[in-house]
Structures are given as C-alpha cells and as structure tokens.
Amino acid sequence: MLIARNPLTGKIIAEYPSLTTAQMHERIGDAYRAFEPWQATPIAERAEVLKKVAQALRNDKPRLAELMAIEMGKPVKEGGPEVEKAAWCCEFYADHAEQFLRREELPSDASLSYVCYQPLGTLLGILPWNAPLWLAFRYLAPALMAGNTCVMKHDPNVPGCAQAIAEAFERAAAPPDIMVNLALETDKVAEAIRDPRIRAVSFTGSDTAGRKVAALAGAELKPAVLELGGSDPLIVLADADLDTAADVATLSRIINAGQSCIAAKRIIVEDPVYDAFVDKVQPRLSKLRLGNPLELDTDIGPLARADLRDNLHRQVTATIDAGAKCLLGGELPEGDGYFYPVTLLTDVSETMCAFNEETFGPVMCVSRASDVEEALQLANETDYGLGAGVWTGNQELAEQLALRIESGQVAINGIVKTDPRLPSGGIKRSGFGRELGPHGIREFVNAKQIWIK
C-alpha cells in the first residue's frame, strides 16, 4: 500500500494499492508492447500528443498545485509555476526533438556515412518527491519524443501526483501505455530494473540510492542517467552586487523549503564583504513566513517527512556544536507538521557537518574565504558536483572560476536552475549523464552509424 501523508498535520490523507510483482511485470509488458507502434509514429504526431499533454496539465493546474501542497508540502504559489514548467518541457521537446535527433553526416571512405538516433525501447524512470511534476516530465518529455515508451516509478510519498500525471495522458488521448504509472513500493524497484524489457534507467534521488540503482543497472548492462544530491557552492566575491546576490542566495536556498538538489547550500563569501553580506541575508531570511502551503502568503511549507526534519536538525545541531554561529532558527518548533524554521549559520568551516553533508531544508550556511583562491578551494572541497554559482563584477574572472569549479553547471551572477533548453547533471557523487537540452534527449537513443559504399 502506498500511503500519502499530509506533512502539515502528519495525518494520512489517502492510501493507494501498490502493484504485486506479477502486476508490475504485466504493466511493464504493456509499455513494452506500446513501443513498436509509438516509435513508428511520425515525430510530428508524437509532438501533437505531447502538446495535448501540456494543455491537459495547464487545465488541471490548480488541482495539481493543491495536490503537491498536501502530499509533500510545496506552497501552492510554487506549485502552479512547477506545473507550467512541466508543460513547457513537453512543448519544448515537441518543437525541437526533430532538430536534436536529425541525422549527422560524417566524412569517411564511404559514398555516404551518417549517424542516426533511434529509440532504445522501454525505459524506467525512478523519481523523487520534491518536484513531483517537473522531475517527471524532465524524464518523460525527451524520452517520449525520441520514440521510447516510459515506465514511471514515482516516490511513495506522492502517489496522488503520480496518478494525476497518468490522468493527464489519458485526458490528452495519448496512445495507451506509452507512459505507464508503476504504483510500486520501493523494495520492488530492483525487480523492475532487472525486467529484460526495460532497456535503460533514469534515476533522480540521493547518492546512496543512486549507487544501488547504478550497480543494478550496470549488472544488467543497461545504460543509466543519475541525477543525485548536491552541496552546491555559491561564491560571493568582494566586487559583487551584494544586494542582488543576497536576494538570489535567499531565493535559491528557500525554494521548496530548501528541498532542492541544485539549491545554493554553501555560501562562500570573500572576507572584505563577509560581514556586509551576512547583514543583508539575515533580514531577508527573517521575513519569510512558514505556514500552510495552501495559503498564498506562505513562503515555506513543512518538510516532506518527519525523518527528513530530524536529520536536518541533527546536521544543524552538530554544526553549532562544532563552533558555527546560529543567527536565525536552529530549534525544532512545537506543534503539528514537519516544519523547520529558516536557519542561518555563519562562520561555517570545511570541517563542519553542514559543510560536508547535503542539507535538505531551509538552512543557509555561510563560510568566509580570505581571497578568490581560497573561495575556489572551498567550493571544490566536496564530494558533490551538481551546480555552482559565482557572483562578481569581473566577468573574465567569473568565467575562469566557472571553468575551474568541479560541477555540472555554473551560473554567473544568476540563480542555478534547470531549463529544458540546457543540459543539466552532475559529476562526482552528484551522478552522471545529462538531462534536458539536446544532450538529454540523446541519452536514451541508439547512435547508429550507417556506412554506404
């Protein structure tokens, strides 16, 4: 049984039957049988299907935003834009997939030689709870437009969101079973990966779970894309626009109650402006309102689960005990719901817990760097490598730093975000492979070489 629990109250709101092992293999078979006709469908017709799915999402936006709020705590004022972003992803790939998958002619000793991009077959997407709509369509849209069929194993925390995604395909009159919702308990995922009809795996989640998925997929010789955790640095140099940097650091840190892999988590500030920057972020953070995610004036809802809050508090407590200063928050609130207060930790060193572990909640950690080189050293002193930010008035220096930072993407004087137009992914413990952009759609295709005498 998949149980949806409202993080605002801690109470069960719905229960959904989970598939048995036999039912799981049957549903994978449904997607497998749908593959041949779907790959044979002209790409322009696939595009029409995806555009209808996008419209179905937009037509259901208020309900979907409310569903995210009650299943995982996202404020509705963030949930609506997430639905829009998912719809945009569908439309973007509908408009650009043909261009991204166009055959490439290459010179050789043949009269004609080229590479064409063909779908692999039926894919398995294993998804997390923190952005239930966006992360689903980040996987689904490019894979479907490439001609694959998709099995979606969503997180047990958001079974209602998973069902709503499947219903969007139904309302769009999409061909049956090109997208199958696999309502599955997590302990059955290994069997799904091993099903011989699954040709590749996409996983978004923690690096601990990612290791298991990678090992299983590798043992079956199946390609995988892994988007795992992050401990993203945001470097603020002495010549930065401090007001704008403080605005963006605050926004990046508290989106989705801080439960975002690519959120800025370690703010590294050059010494001459360290105190001034802290003085700017503290009032910005203190103004944020915790509350019911269904209310439009709520900035931060509850964390998704009690265990997530407990782990976050452990990290904060350990960091304070090691010598960091706590200027805001840091204490567990009383009452119902899995709330955690907006917390500001300063003088965080590279030996402390919150510097070395991924913090998944509304906690900002600020560290001091004596100069540019130490800022870079601190930024790279992590096992993760998902995203990073650099703030400086010197664009040439910013680009030099961006090239030296160990991460999958770097934003200069802006917020790190995912965008259908641009590839996204990590290195080191943040995973491998790329999603989105032209690179993302080519992850799950066969780059087939054709040679003609």
Residue 450 C-beta-side C-alpha neighbours within 13 Å: 12
Say if pTM beats, i.e. exceeds, 0.95.
yes
Residues 6+ apart with CB under 8 A from 222: 193, 198, 199, 200, 201
Q: Enter the DSSP assignment of 196.
A: T
Q: How far apart are CA 53 and CA 171, in angstroms?
A: 8
Q: Enter the DSSP assignment of 247.
A: H
Structure tokens at 39: 């790959």
Residue-level pLDDT at 133 = 98
Which residues are annotated as catalytic?
Answer: 227, 261
Thinking of the domain 232-412, which architecture would CATH place it in? 3-Layer(aba) Sandwich (3.40)
Residues 6+ apart with CB under 8 A from 179: 31, 140, 144, 149, 150, 152, 165, 166, 169
User: For the chain, what are the domain ranges?
Assistant: 2-228+428-452, 232-412
Q: How many CB atoms lie within 10 A of CB 197?
A: 16
Residues 6+ apart with CB under 8 A from 289: 297, 298, 299, 300
Q: How many CB atoms lie within 10 A of CB 318?
A: 14
Give the three-class secondary structure for 276.
Answer: helix
Contact 183, 124 (CB under 8 A): no
Q: Which fold has domain 2-228+428-452?
A: Aldehyde Dehydrogenase; Chain A, domain 1 (3.40.605)
Residue-level pLDDT at 237 = 98
Residue-level pLDDT at 421 = 98
Residues 6+ apart with CB under 8 A from 161: 64, 67, 68, 71, 72, 132, 133, 136, 154
Residues in the chain with pLDDT values less than 70? none
Q: How many CB atoms lie within 10 A of CB 153?
A: 25
Residue-level pLDDT at 182 = 98
Same fold, 2-228+428-452 and 232-412: no
Structure tokens at 202: 């996409």
**Which helix (H) or strand (E) covers residue 203, if one does?**
strand 198-204
Give the three-class secondary structure for 365.
Answer: strand
Classify residue 347 as exposed, middle or buried by CB count within 10 Å of its CB (0-12, 13-18, 19+). middle
Q: How far apart are CA 69 and CA 316, in angstroms?
A: 25
> Could you give the angle at the alpha carbon of 39 between the alpha carbons of 33 and 41, nearest 5°?
110
Residues facing residue 344 across a β-bridge: 328, 364
Q: How far apart are CA 70 and CA 9, in angstroms?
A: 9
- Which residue type sits at 390? V
